Amino acid sequence: MSGITLRVAHLYPRLMNIYGDRGNIMALRHRCEARGIGFDLTDLGPGDRLDAAAHDLIFAGGAQDREQRGVVDDLLATKADAVREAVERDVVLLAVCGAYQLFGRSYREASGAELPGAGIFDLYTAHPGEGAKRCIGNIVCEWQSSAAGMQTIVGFENHGGRTHLGEGVRTLARVRSGHGNNGRDGTEGAIYRNAFGTYVHGSLLPKNPAFADHLIATALRRRHADIELRPIDDRAEQRAHAAALKLRP
Question: Annotated active-site positions, please?
Answer: 97, 201
β-pair type (5-11, 57-60): parallel
What is the spatial distance between Cα 76 and Cα 11, in angstroms, rounded to a whole number?
Answer: 13
- The candidate with the shortest Cα–Cα distance to 118, out of 94, 96, 131, 100, is 100
Residue type for position 57: L
22, 13 Cβ separation under 8 angstroms = yes
Pairs from 33-38 (Cβ < 8 Å, separation ≥ 24): 34/232, 34/233, 35/1, 35/229, 35/230, 35/232, 36/1, 36/2, 37/1, 37/4, 37/5, 37/6, 37/216, 37/220, 38/4, 38/5, 38/6
Distance CA 73, CA 47 (A): 10
Enumerate residues 6+ apart whose C-beta is below 8 A from 35.
1, 229, 230, 232
Give the residue from 7, 86, 11 showing the smallest Cα distance to 47. 11
Provide the terminal-to-terminal Cα distance of the chain, rounded to the nearest Å. Answer: 40
